[in-house]
């Protein structure tokens, strides 16, 4: 039986799956790596760490499964979106890669908007406004702030496509990930020559762009030896992590929306045709489904907020309570939160720990607890963090609903689907049932299915999802809790408005003292 690899180059780790042609996961492995934060709001990584993690995890799944190298027909690549890998003419990395959650490019976003002829004109060109996370502002930042490095620049790749280059020797991307560069004509699914010209960039900096299921090459002899595979192994386009995760959840037809809580939070809905939020609060990107699109709202610090709270703040006090190990820390924290009623006793949390994207597009936004009183304990604060993250997702869902996008079913994935309390909380806050799947493997599974399509096992990705993905259960909302959350949500929304200028002033003060 033919097998397929799905490799997801994440922000904190690379995850690799080995999947049989019938969709069964045979083996999986993960390898973590560090994140550099040289200044507040700056994030970067060494691409070499991604390559080492790719080699380690592929070799590990092959060893665990005992599948012959000749039985691996193709692999698919997924990864954190928007990051910028800067290469010279010899394809050597010039500097650490700037990541999706890096906030240093606010001035470059303004420059892009001006050069494009204004926000509305920019959205007409590439379907999205300029945001600090996107790749185009990072290229301009390099030009504006590191001129010597920019003078060496010959190619800019997204994270997963740097791994593709190491695998095949070719510089290629695909439409879903390319949509997040701000340089793709999303409607026509090709690079926007108009915007590239307005920004005075060399079109040759960008790789070839293909559809997500297209075969982009085969492994070089060196790559095959490093991974323990063969040079007959194909490499397909793959997808950015959000589109890949949606494929893995079966979001390949209209009417289905996915909510994902990982490091970031994503509301992702399939569209048969390009649909726009004229205010630019949502992204409109090419889907990893051929000739289809999607809309997406993104919160920068969703699961990351709970991780910060539990591991940085609660860890000491929970460890003092004889709770050992990270998993036990989260279990204890969740139990304490579950003992608190919906609404956390009038306590709200804004999860803007590293700026925010949807709906505010504000790199200066910051996190806050509001409403603290002497009756609040650890459980109240933990629950408030989880509720605040879910309210942030509701911001996106409300925009999607206001645009009359067809939403018949919501599927949950990521950590928010595996945590029973958080799953129920989503149902209560969204006011609708939440569906989970029998197996939820995320982006790596989605690109393994794309590899199977590219290799000819399935006619298209819709057939692959239909044959391999099954619904497990539905979590209905608790109507009493929903009523409480409906009263709290407008207050949550007003808090950002009240604090926006204070956030900007505090951020400026922090930057001045760093």
Question: What number is the average pLDDT over the span 220-225?
Answer: 98
**How confident is residue 514, by pLDDT bands cut at 50, 70 and 90?**
low
Query: What's the pLDDT band for 406 if we cut at 50, 70, 90?
Result: confident
pLDDT of residue 418: 84
- How far is it, in rounded angstroms, from Cα 388 to Cα 375? 19
Q: Which residue has the higher pLDDT, 361 or 114?
A: 114
Res 513 pLDDT > 90: no
Is residue 322 predicted with pLDDT exceeding 90? no
pLDDT digits 0-9 by tens, 280-300: 899 999 999 999 999 999 999
Tell me the pLDDT tens digit for each residue of 258-267.
999 988 899 9
Residue 286, both tokens? 């090419």
Which two tokens mark 498?
């009240």
CA dist 327 → 332, 413, 479 (Å): 9, 18, 31
Query: Long-range pairs for 107-112 at CB < 8 Å and ≥24 separation?
Result: 107/144, 108/136, 108/137, 108/138, 108/140, 108/141, 108/144, 109/137, 111/140, 112/136, 112/137, 112/140, 112/182, 112/199
Kindly tell me if the per-residue pLDDT of 147 is higher than 80. yes
Using CA atoms of 153, 157, 161, 167 in order, give the dihedral in degrees to the nearest 10.
Answer: 0
The residues annotated as belonging to the active site are 241
With cut-offs at 50, 70 and 90, classify the pLDDT of residue 323. low
Cα–Cα distances in angstroms (integers) from residue 310 to residues 48, 258, 325, 378, in the given order: 30, 25, 12, 10
The domain limits of the chain are 3-249, 303-389+479-513
Average pLDDT over the chain, rounded to whole?
94
The three-class DSSP label of residue 89 is coil
Q: How far apart are CA 512 and CA 514, in angstroms?
A: 6
Q: Are 106 and 131 in contact (CB under 8 A)?
A: no
Output the pLDDT for position 320. 59
Give the architecture (CATH level 2) of 3-249. Answer: 2-Layer Sandwich (3.30)
Determine the pLDDT at residue 158: 98
Domain 303-389+479-513 in the same topology as domain 3-249: yes
Confidence of residue 316 (pLDDT cuts 50, 70, 90): confident
**For residues 147-165, average pLDDT:** 98
Range from 61-75, 332-346, 400-414 carrying the lowest mean pLDDT: 400-414
Interval 50-70 mean pLDDT: 98
Instruction: Give me the CATH code for the 303-389+479-513 domain, please.
Output: 3.30.420.40
Burial of 281 (0-12, 13-18, 19+ CB in 10 A): middle
Give the C-alpha separation, 368 to 1, whole Å: 53
357-393: buried (b, 16+ CB within 10 Å) or exposed (e) per residue?
Answer: bbbbbbbbbbbbbbbeeeebebbbbbbbbbbbbbbbb
Q: How many Cα atoms sit within 13 Å of 284 on the Cβ side? A: 28
What is the model's pLDDT at position 414?
79
Contacts of 495 (CB under 8 A, 6+ apart): 348, 350, 368, 370
Q: Is residue 82 scored above 60 in pLDDT?
A: yes
Confidence of residue 16 (pLDDT cuts 50, 70, 90): very high
Please state, for a pLDDT cut of 70, what percent of the chain lies above it. 99
pLDDT at 405: 87
For residue 437, the model assigns a pLDDT of 86
State both tokens at 89: 């003419």
Residues 6+ apart with CB under 8 A from 405: 269, 271, 275, 295
pLDDT at 438 (0 to 100): 78
* Element housing 321 (H / E): none
Reply yes or no on whether the pLDDT at 313 is more than 70.
Answer: yes
Residue 39: per-residue pLDDT: 87
The pLDDT assigned to 310 comes to 94
- Quick one: average pLDDT of 494-505? 96
φ, ψ dihedrals at 233, nearest 5°:
-70, 120
- What pLDDT, on a 0 to 100 scale, did the predictor assign at position 319? 65
Please, are residues 29 and 61 in contact by the beta-carbon 8 Å criterion? yes
Element holding 30 (H helix, E strand): strand 25-32
């Amino acid at each position: 039986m033919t097998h397929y690899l799905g490799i997801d180059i994440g922000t904190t780790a690379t995850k690799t799956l080995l999947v049989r042609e019938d969709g069964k996961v045979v083996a999986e492995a993960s390898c973590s790596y560090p994140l550099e934060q040289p200044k507040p709001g700056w994030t970067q990584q060494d691409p070499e760490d991604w390559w080492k993690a790719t080699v380690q995890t592929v070799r590990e799944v092959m060893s665990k499964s005992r599948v012959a190298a000749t039985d691996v027909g193709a692999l698919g690549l997924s990864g954190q979106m928007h990051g910028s890998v800067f290469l010279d003419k010899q394809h050597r990395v010039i500097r650490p890669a700037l990541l999706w959650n890096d906030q240093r490019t606010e001035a470059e976003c303004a420059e892009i908007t001006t050069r494009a002829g204004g926000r509305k004109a920019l959205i007409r060109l590439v379907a999205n406004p300029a945001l600090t996370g996107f790749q185009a502002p990072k290229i301009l930042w390099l030009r504006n702030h590191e001129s010597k490095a920019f003078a060496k620049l010959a190619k800019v790749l997204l994270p997963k496509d740097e791994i593709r280059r190491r695998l095949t020797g070719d510089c290629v991307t695909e439409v879903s990930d390319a949509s997040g560069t701000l340089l793709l004509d999303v409607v026509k699914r090709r690079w926007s020559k108009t915007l590239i010209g307005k920004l005075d960039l060399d079109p040759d900096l960008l790789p070839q762009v293909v559809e997500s299921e297209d075969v982009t090459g085969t492994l070089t002899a060196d790559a095959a030896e490093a991974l323990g595979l063969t040079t007959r192994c194909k490499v397909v386009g793959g997808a950015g992590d959000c589109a890949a995760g949606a494929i893995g959840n079966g979001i390949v037809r209209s009417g289905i929306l996915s909510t994902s809580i990982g490091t970031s939070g994503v509301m992702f809905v399939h569209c048969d045709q390009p649909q726009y939020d004229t205010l630019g609060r949502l992204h409109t990107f090419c889907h990893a489904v051929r000739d289809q699109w999607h809309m997406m709202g993104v919160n920068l610090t969703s699961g990351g907020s709970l991780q910060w709270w539990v591991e940085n703040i609660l860890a000491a006090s929970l460890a003092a309570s004889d709770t050992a190990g990270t998993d036990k820390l989260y279990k204890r924290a969740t139990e304490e939160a579950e003992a608190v009623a919906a609404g956390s006793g009038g306590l709200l949390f804004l999860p803007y720990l590293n700026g925010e994207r949807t709906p505010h597009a504000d790199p200066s936004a910051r996190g806050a607890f509001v409403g603290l009183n002497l009756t609040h304990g650890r459980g109240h604060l933990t629950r408030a963090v989880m509720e605040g993250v879910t309210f942030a997702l509701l911001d996106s869902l409300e925009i999607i609903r206001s645009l009359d996008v067809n939403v018949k079913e919501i599927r949950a994935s990521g950590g928010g689907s595996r945590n029973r309390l958080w799953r129920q909380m989503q149902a209560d806050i969204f006011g609708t049932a939440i569906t989970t799947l029998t197996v939820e493997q995320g982006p790596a599974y989605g690109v393994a299915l794309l590899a199977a399509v590219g290799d000819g096992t399935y006619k298209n990705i819709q057939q692959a999802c239909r044959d391999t993905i099954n619904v497990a259960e539905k979590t209905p909302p608790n109507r009493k809790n929903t009523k409480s959350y409906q009263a709290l949500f407008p207050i949550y929304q007003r808090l950002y408005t009240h604090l926006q200028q204070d956030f900007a002033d505090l951020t400026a003060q922090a930057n001045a003292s760093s």
